[in-house]
Structure 1
Amino acid sequence: MTTRRWTALPVLLVAVFVTTLDFFVANLALPSIRADLRAGDASVQFVIAGYGLAYAAGLIASGRLGDLYGHRRVFRTGLALFTLASAECGLAGGAAWLVAGRIAQGVAAALLAPQVLTLLGELYRGTDRATAFRWYGTVVGLAGVSGQVIGGALVAAEHLGLGWRACFLVNVPIGVAALAMTGRVLPAPVPSPLRRAGLDVGGAGLVAAGLVAVVLPLVEGREQGWPPWAWWCLAASGPILVTFVRRQRRLVHARRTPLLDLDVFTDRTFAWGLVAVALLFGTSAGLSFVLALYLQDGLGLGPLAAGAVCTALNAGFFAASLRPGRFGAPVLLLGLCLLYEVVARAAQPYQVAMALVVVGAGMGLLMSPLLSSVLSAVRPERAGAAAGVLGTVQETGGVLGATITGTVFFGTLDGGDWRAAMLAGLSVLVAGALGVLAHAMMRPPARTPVAARACVQQDGGTC
């Protein structure tokens, strides 16, 4: 393994860290953003949902773009866009500009994510690949663990009077430094025989339109009194996605390359498991969203103190994920029920933190076995398409979880009762955890993950 290849690893991991961190770091800044920009409920929700929605909508297309135009080129484009979008967020003079910047960040993150995984696979083999992917997992976990406390610290520091803007501007020097290194440490693009087939732009547009038609009315509808356009959007989302599916089938019949290989859904374990993945990521994102608002505006904690409480959730996740087990779903449900009871009794913040440790432990015990079981039934030749679909479902589940939980939360908050709003939001999350538990009880036994089988076939060794 050459020194150059190992030099590439920090550049790739920095991209993973900042894009993962940015989903969490904004949660603790929401009350400050709301006050400074005089943002409404819908704008506050879109600060989180806009990022996740753009991320989810672009993942499938961006993986295809990497195959067509070279993974290094698409990676550099995504990193440059993410850096510029972070600057826009940090300098935003109004809520609309901030939301636009967050959407641009999400598009950039979608460009980056598939390229990182592909480049790791290209650069490393055998035991070196195992080391690289262990570092990848550690960085993702570290970003999740530290995201909210970093956000709280940046907001509380008031460095140079930046406040919440520091949460986004901190990405700019990091992005510039990483971008300067990509040309030297990442492999040059290899001409692809697929380039002549081109990108299914129509299919990419249909996927994005279908997701927007679901999320937009859920975010804006309640604040505007559920106008007719909101119901029309929701009604149109199904036909739009059906049209996308039909388009992909027509491309296959015409012997052209589709944006998405629909054969991945013929594996029932994979298709059924996607439901549980969406519920789990929706529960996690929904809890992070309402918890940050409740702790600061409801309990009166400062950003740093609220970040410290939220860290209990991520610490429980990180500790439990070191030894994932079979009882993640019951522990997750137990933790959410404990949190509901704590909030109902108007307990102290340290008691909220104790309940969050249990919630985080349930997520940590569940995450790895769930993802492994979802991918276990997929054939090696479909692993790439399955990974793209899984990533899209993760992000879409997170967006819908934050949006639906936020809609219920703000709907109850109209009466001004923060405790009642939090309890209403937790009721939605408990329902999601019950769905995850139902899946855990009915899913078939997991087999060897596809990624491991494919790696053995390619390398003759361990992935």
Structure 2
Amino acid sequence: MTARRWSALPVLLAAVFVTTLDFFVVNLAVPSIRAGLRADDADVQLVIAGYGLAYAAGLIVSGRLGDLYGHRRVFALGLALFTLASAGCGMAYDAGVLVAARVAQGGAAALLAPQVLTLLGALYQGADRARAFGWYGAAVGLAGVSGQVAGGLLVAADPLGLGWRACFLVNVPAGVVALALIGRVLPRTGRVLPPTGRSLPRTGRSGSWRDLDLAGAALVAAGLAVVVLCLVEGREQGWPQWTWWGLAASAPILGAFVRRQRRLAAAGRVPLLDLAVFGESGFPSGLVAVALLFGTSAGLSFVLALYAQEGLGLTPLAAGAMCTALNAGFLAASLRPGPLGAPALVMGLVVLYGVVTWDLGPYAVGAALLVTGAGMGWLMSPLISSVLSGVRAELAGAAAGVLGTVQEAGGVLGGTLTGAAFFGALDGGWDAAARAGVAVLIVGASGVLVHSFRRARRGPASEAGSPAAARFHVKQERPADCP
């Protein structure tokens, strides 16, 4: 492993950190945004949800763009757009401009996410790969730990009189530095051929817009955006009728996308998403496990946000301190991923269920959360790495895009199902509601545990001999040769 490849890791992780941070950093700035821009409730909801909607809708398309134009090139474009969109958020003069900039931020984050996963898989193999994905998990955990805290501190500190705008402008210097380093430290991945074996038409060194299925991109983006919007707003608004109509409409939209991809493949053309990726070794079952893990994480955050203050009567500060145990456990464990992740996750949730049942108080809840967070930290990076390790090189971008989509959709669906169980049991009191929510989480975590046991029985595949490691080469070029 050359020093240059390791020097690429901080640039990739910086992108992971800032894009994850922006899911959370805006939450505590909402009152200041409302006052400063005279925003109404709908505007504020779109400021928060617009980022996630654009992110979820763009992941599959961006995975394909990486295959066409090179993952490093699309990474650089995404980082540049994210930096510009962050500046746009910070300089917004009314709520409409802020919403538009947030949507642009989410779309740029979607450009980045699949490229990071694909580049990590291409640059590092074996023990180095485990270390790299461990640091990836640590970056996600650190962003989760610091997200809302950072937002609150920036608003309170009011640097240079910027107020809430600092929550977005803080991304700009980080983005500029990372962009300046890309040409020096990030090697260019070799171009891969599509699974059909047909050479792509080339414009210079890259693919052509003719190779991008724009109609398919519109279908999948629209379908995913409708699903996420209906699930998020449906839970918030008590499931009005329009959310059910929206979910019903998303099925034929996504079905049309799948049919189009099959027709393109049958005609010898390159689809936006090659459905052959779902036949790769361990990929479908790994996706289910990833969805369950991210759904468990999102559902647990939802339960804690309500139970800590309403059930235990804690102040926001005390509730945040208690919940920090979850993120601290995650962050510490993610630096040393291990085989005990799934058992620790289930054990922590079972202990949490018992703590709530016997009303043992916030310190016991914090202890249970520490174990639960450690389980998530031990589990996340090896799970994501294993899902991608068996995928062929020519499907790497598609796999990363699908994986990111499943992470986002799993989180939204997990929060929705947990919320339904929580509120359904609320007539019995806050303890009963928390038990119902945690019970749903135990079921989800048990699914991850079953996947972990099955994979352990099969034996981990050797990454050095995996298709991705064998066929996805990295060109070590001088900075002057980089596009």
TM-score range normalised by the length of the shorter chain: 0.7 to 0.9
- Tell me what 2:65 maps to: 65
- String of CA shifts for 1:337-361, please: whole Å, max 9, x gaps: 3223434555543332211111112
- Write the mapping of 1:69-88 to structure 2, written as runs, cut at 5 A: 69-88=69-88
Tell me: CA distance 1:146–1:456, structure 2 relative to 1, closer, same or farther (3 Å).
Answer: closer
Could you tell me how far apart the structure 1 residues matched to 2:433 and 2:242 are? 27
Correspondence for 1:237: 250
In structure 2, do the counterparts of structure 1 residues 224 and 319 end up closer, same or farther at CA, with 3 Å as the change threshold? closer
Relative to structure 1, the CA distance from residue 315 to residue 115 in structure 2 (aligned partners, 3 Å threshold; closer, same or farther) is same
The one-letter code sitting in structure 2 at the alignment partner of 1:159 is: A
Give the one of 282, 289, 304 matched to 1:276: 289
Q: CA deviation at 1:445?
A: 1.6
Tell whether the 8 Å contact from 1:61 to 1:204 is kept in structure 2 after alignment.
yes
Match of 1:309 among 322, 328, 333: 322
Letter in 2 for 1:351: A
CA positional deviation for 1:256: 0.8
C-alpha contact 1:309 1:353 (8 A) present in aligned 2: yes
Identity of aligned residues (%): 64
Question: Shift in Å at residue 61 of structure 1?
Answer: 1.2
The match for 2:447 is: 435
Give the match's secondary structure for 1:260.
coil
Q: Give the AA of the match of 2:79.
A: L
Measured in 2, the distance between the counterparts of 1:369 and 1:175 equals: 28
Once the two structures are superposed, residues 107-166 of structure 1 have per-residue CA deviations (whole angstroms, 9 ceiling, x without a partner) of 1111112334555677x5889xx7588356415413413532453254146112766654
Q: CA deviation at 1:363?
A: 1.7
Q: Give the 3-state SS of the residue equivalent to 1:259 in structure 2.
A: coil
Question: Contact 1:199/1:259 (CA < 8 Å) preserved in 2?
Answer: yes
In the aligned structure 2, how far is the partner of 1:284 from the partner of 1:245?
29
CA–CA distance in structure 1, aligned partners of residues 78 and 229 of structure 2? 25
Contact 1:53 1:399 in 2 (8 A): no
> Are 2:13 and 1:13 aligned?
yes
Contact 1:329–1:363 (Cα < 8 Å) also in 2: yes
Tell me, yes or no, if the aligned pair for 2:216 and 2:272 is still in contact at 8 Å.
yes
In structure 2, the partner of 1:142 is 139
* Equivalent residue, structure 1, for 2:264: 251
Output one character per residue of 1:258-307: Cα deviation in whole Å (capped at 9) or x when no partner.
1111112224732123212101111112323443455467644345x544
Q: Which amino acid aligns with 1:428?
A: V
Which of 379, 387, 400 does residue 413 from structure 2 map onto? 400
Which residue among 448, 452, 462 is the counterpart of 2:461? 448
Shift of 1:104: 2.7
Structure-2 residue corresponding to 1:159: 157
| CA distance in structure 2 between the partners assigned to 1:171 and 1:297 by the alignment | 34
Could you tell which deviates more after superposition, 12-21 or 154-163? 154-163
Task: Mark the CA change 1:209 to 1:170 in structure 2 (over 3 Å): closer, same or farther.
Answer: same
Contact 2:43–2:95, Cα closer than 8 Å, also in 1: no
What is the one-letter code of the residue matched to 1:110? A
Q: Write out aligned runs for 1:28-427 (5 A).
A: 50-90=50-90, 100-118=100-118, 134-135=131-132, 137-145=134-142, 147-149=144-146, 151-156=148-153, 158-160=156-158, 166-182=166-182, 191-192=204-205, 194-195=207-208, 197-224=210-237, 226-267=239-280, 269-292=282-305, 294-295=307-308, 299-303=313-317, 305-322=318-335, 324-344=337-357, 347-375=360-388, 377-379=390-392, 381-406=394-419, 422-427=434-439
Asked if 2 retains the 8 angstrom alpha-carbon contact of 1:90 and 1:166, the reply is: yes
Give the drift of 1:364. 2.9
Cα RMSD after superposing both structures: 4.2
* Distance across 1 between alignment mates of 2:111 and 2:148: 24
C-alpha displacement of 1:78:
1.5
For structure 1, which segment, 209-218 or 21-30, has the greater mean C-alpha deviation from structure 2 after superposition?
21-30
CA shift at 1:380, angstroms? 5.1
Flag the 1:156–1:12 CA change in 2: closer, same or farther, 3 A. Answer: closer
Contact 1:63–1:114 (CA under 8 A) maintained in structure 2: yes
The CA deviation at 1:389 is 2.0
Distance 1:81 1:409, change over 3 A: farther
- Distance in 2 of aligned mates of 1:2 and 1:325: 25
Q: Distance in 1 between matches of 2:118 and 2:263?
A: 28
Residues 297-323 of structure 1 deviation map (CA, whole Å, 9 limit, x = unaligned): 7644345x5444333212322444455
In the TM superposition, residue 93 of structure 1 has moved relative to its aligned partner by 7.7
Q: For 2:92 and 2:402, locate their aligned partners in 1 and report how far apart those are by CA, in whole Å.
A: 33
Gaps of 5+ in 2: 192-203, 475-483
Give yes or no for contact 1:22–1:147 (8 Å, CA) kept in 2: no
Deviations, residues 401-443 of structure 1 (Å, cap 9, x unaligned): 2344456657777x89766654554343233223333444555
Give the whole-Å Cα distance in 1 for the aligned partners of 2:183 and 2:94: 36
| Cα 1:230–1:132 shift into 2, 3 Å | closer
Over 3 Å counting, the alpha-carbon distance change for 1:49 and 1:401 in structure 2 is: farther
Q: Corresponding residue for 2:196?
A: none
**In 2, Cα distance between equivalents of 1:455 and 1:287:** 34
Residues 424 and 47 (structure 1), Cα distance of their counterparts in 2 relative to 1, 3 Å cut: farther
List per-residue Cα deviations over 1:206-225 (Å, max 9, x = no partner): 22222223222222235555
- 5+ residue gaps, structure 1, are none
Alpha-carbon offset, residue 65 of structure 1: 1.8
Equivalent-residue separation in structure 2 for 1:217 and 1:196 (angstroms): 32
Tell whether the 8 Å contact from 1:42 to 1:219 is kept in structure 2 after alignment: no
Mapped contact 2:125–2:464 kept (Cα < 8 A): no
Give the C-alpha shift of residue 250 in structure 1: 0.6
1:345-402 C-alpha deviation (Å, 9 max, x unpaired): 5554333221111111222343345345544654455444333322221222123223
Whether the 8 Å CA contact 2:393–2:471 is kept in 1: the answer is no
Asked if the contact 1:153/1:307 (under 8 Å) is kept, the reply is no
**Count, aligned residues:** 455
